[in-house]
Amino acid sequence: MSAAGTATRTQRAPVGTPPAGSLPRLLAGVSEDGGRVSVTRHFSVHGGLPLTGARRSWGRREHPPLIEETHRAGLRGRGGAAFPLARKLLAVAAARGPAVVVANGTEGEPASEKDAMLMELAPHLVLDGLVAAAEALGAREALIATCELDEDATDSMALAVEERDAAGIAPHHAPSLRVVTAPGHYVAGQETALVSYLDGGPALPTFTPPLPFERGVGRRPTLVSNVETLAHLALVARHGAGWFRALGTPASTGSTLVTLAGPVARPGVYEIALGSSLESLARAAGGTTREVRGALIGGYAGAFVPAESLRGLALSDEHLAAHGGRMGSGVVALLSSDCCPVAETARVARWMAEQSSGQCGPCVNGLDALAGEIEAVARGRATDGRLEQLSATVARRGACGHPDGVVSLVGSALEAFPSAFAHHARGGPCDRCASVPELPLPAGRVASPRSRTRRARR
Amino acid sequence: MSRRVRVNPIACEAHGMCAELLPERITLDEWGYPVVDEKPVSGEELAHAKRAAQACPTFALLLERPR
């Protein structure tokens, strides 16, 4: 785990409602040396979590106040899909039967570290969000899913649950809190895969419908929400929608955690206001250390942005859309001019193909072929139009969005680095193809989920 | 009444019966998996679609109500 920092260095004394327009929010109370926020420090920094009491019955057009407040705050998910949290909460609230709430901290994205860091340093903010969501939905059962490979995050969450029990903080109606570790492969954190795993099945995506909000853990309506999203919810519950919106843009409200990787002096996790510039993030990280050729933004289902578009680039979905990108899981991986973007794309595409859960034919065969064709481009043996044809064949044909993410990644690489792809297609490998890989991939530590399922037909 | 033809890609094992019975809506990709035109089907075509769904050995072809 790399060092944590915040995009602003302001450390204010904890008094009442913190200033609305300042950072840090989620990382408030984290000491300069990156120390974990204990239960006592958490409540002295953030104050108590206002709960409205056990759920009463809500009328047809009436919703729990927290859901209304979340809607006004404009809080969208920070796990990758940016789905409005209020809509998810409403869908679970409207479904029949007692609900279950799940904090998704599985973070299968290899380039992302922000969820693990948040759970390690500010676990009680995650628990507060989970408790607040449980209360709004009348859920008695709350689960925290971590990745089995992130031992520090898992231990921190488990300790946080113990700290609460020992301090007698849980009100009588609070949900039971339980930490569960999930496997580390890429799609294990996809919400239907996580629900399947929590129910004793394999950590593989399932066909939808039903979605978890209709039939989730134990066949009950289930809220699955990213741990960072829940941490923001804990602050919305305390300070309200107006406070939340004081940072960010009208369409992308609040702050967000990003994992900054690549040639900067201090790579790591930063909290930024949505819509702030990439340059200010790079400055907070001590500036770039080498010439930058481009960036991969949003994770391995995200998009490449070439260097010439990085100047003045604002980090929000509405600004990134112009480049086919989105904030996704908050990964900002800068590529130096020492690397070959074709080789980098080929490496990531191959890894993503291996991470197919092996359930859907078009994904298993299509991603293998897609990765193979990029490798062929890199060797100078491209087939004209084959990448485009494979992308069209694969898109939207899986049970989950995994193949679509790879198609997006590959398409953006072709757009961001057209001359590099053209040079390789004509002339084969470049001098930089063999340079040190820059985009982080787990070095063999994550088993492919595919061993027991379908294999590609070669 | 109309229905939307949809494949459950997890259940599908590329037997290809659907493409034979409903060629106007279903083609096969290079690995033998169905590529489906998801525009709603109705009338006589729906009858063909139902036959195709019933013929699927893995029950992977679905006729859903349009959303």
Confidence of residue A14 (pLDDT cuts 50, 70, 90): very low
Of A19-23, A84-88, A221-225, B47-51, least confident by mean pLDDT is A19-23
Which chain A residues are Cβ-neighbours of B33 within 8 angstroms?
361-362, 365, 397
Side-chain-facing half-sphere of A271: CA atoms under 13 Å: 24
Q: Give the pLDDT confidence score for residue A51 in this predicted structure.
A: 77
Q: Give the pLDDT confidence score for residue A174 in this predicted structure.
A: 78
Select the more confidently predicted residue: A449 or A142. Answer: A142
Confidence of residue A406 (pLDDT cuts 50, 70, 90): very high
Q: Give the pLDDT confidence score for residue A444 in this predicted structure.
A: 57
| B59 to chain A, closest Cα gap in Å | 13
Which chain B residues are Cβ-neighbours of A399 within 8 angstroms?
8-10
User: How far, rounded to the nearest angstrom, does the alpha carbon of residue A23 sit from its chain's CA centroid?
Assistant: 20
Q: Give the pLDDT confidence score for residue A58 in this predicted structure.
A: 58
Region A81-108 average pLDDT = 96
Select the more confidently predicted residue: A287 or B66. Answer: A287
| B8 to chain A, closest Cα gap in Å | 7
Which chain B residues are Cβ-neighbours of A393 within 8 angstroms?
29-30, 35
Q: Give the pLDDT confidence score for residue A378 in this predicted structure.
A: 96
Q: Does A377 touch chain B (CB under 8 A)?
A: no
Q: Does A206 touch chain B (CB under 8 A)?
A: yes
Q: Does B1 touch chain A (CB under 8 A)?
A: no
Q: Give the pLDDT confidence score for residue A16 in this predicted structure.
A: 60
Asked whether residue A56 carries a pLDDT value surpassing 60, the answer given is: no
Q: Which residue of A has its CA nearest to B34?
A: A362
The pTM for the full model equals: 0.93
| B22 to chain A, closest Cα gap in Å | 18
Q: Which residue of A has its CA nearest to B6?
A: A397
Q: Does A359 touch chain B (CB under 8 A)?
A: yes
Q: Does B15 touch chain A (CB under 8 A)?
A: no
| B11 to chain A, closest Cα gap in Å | 8
Confidence of residue A53 (pLDDT cuts 50, 70, 90): low
Sequence-distant (≥ 6) Cβ neighbours of residue A379 within 8 angstroms: A424, A428, A429
Distance (Å, whole) CA A177 – CA A152: 18
User: Residue B7's domain spans which residues?
Assistant: 2-64
| A357 to chain B, closest Cα gap in Å | 10
ipTM (interface pTM): 0.95
* Residue pLDDT, tens place only, B41-64: 999 999 999 999 999 999 999 999
Select the more confidently predicted residue: A25 or A31. Answer: A25
Q: Does B65 touch chain A (CB under 8 A)?
A: no
Average per-residue pLDDT for chain A: 91
Distance (Å, whole) CA A343 – CA B43: 52
Q: Does B64 touch chain A (CB under 8 A)?
A: no
Q: Give the pLDDT confidence score for residue A34 in this predicted structure.
A: 74
What is the torsional sign of CA A200, A202, A207, A211?
A: positive
Determine whether the interchain pair B9/A359 forms a contact, defined as Cβ–Cβ distance below 8 Å.
yes
| B33 to chain A, closest Cα gap in Å | 7
Per-residue HEC secondary structure of A424-436 comes to HHHHCCCCCCCCC
Region B28-53 average pLDDT = 95
Determine whether the interchain pair A362/B8 forms a contact, defined as Cβ–Cβ distance below 8 Å.
no
Region A225-238 average pLDDT = 98
Select the more confidently predicted residue: A168 or A148. Answer: A148
Task: Give me the CATH number covering residue B23.
Answer: 3.30.70.20
Q: Among residues 23-42 of chain B, which lie with CB inside 8 Å of chain A? A: 29-33, 35
Asked whether residue A100 carries a pLDDT value surpassing 50, the answer given is: yes
Q: Which residue of B has its CA nearest to A365?
A: B31
Distance (Å, whole) CA A2 – CA A393: 39
Determine whether the interchain pair B31/A206 forms a contact, defined as Cβ–Cβ distance below 8 Å.
no
Region A71-97 average pLDDT = 96
Asked whether residue A452 carries a pLDDT value surpassing 90, the answer given is: no
Of A167-171, A185-189, A403-407, B7-11, least confident by mean pLDDT is A167-171
* Residue pLDDT, tens place only, A139-162: 999 999 999 999 999 999 999 999
- Look at chain B and report how many structural domains it folds into: 1
At residue A102, what is the residue type? V
Confidence of residue A60 (pLDDT cuts 50, 70, 90): low
Q: Which of A206, A359, A362 sits opposite B33 (nearest CB)?
A: A362
Q: Give the pLDDT confidence score for residue A265 in this predicted structure.
A: 97
Determine whether the interchain pair A365/B31 forms a contact, defined as Cβ–Cβ distance below 8 Å.
yes
Which chain B residues are Cβ-neighbours of A457 within 8 angstroms?
31
Helix axes A402-416 and A361-378, enclosed angle (nearest 10): 20
Per-residue HEC secondary structure of chain B comes to CEEEEEECCCCCCCCCHHHHHCCCCEEECCCCCEEECCCCEEHHHHHHHHHHHHHCCCCCEEEECCC
Q: Which residue of A has its CA nearest to B13?
A: A361
Q: What percent of chain A has pLDDT over 70?
A: 90
Q: Give the pLDDT confidence score for residue A15 in this predicted structure.
A: 43
Sequence-distant (≥ 6) Cβ neighbours of residue B20 within 8 angstroms: none
Determine whether the interchain pair B33/A206 forms a contact, defined as Cβ–Cβ distance below 8 Å.
no
Name A84's bridge partners. Answer: A76
* Residue pLDDT, tens place only, A283-311: 999 999 999 999 999 999 999 999 999 99
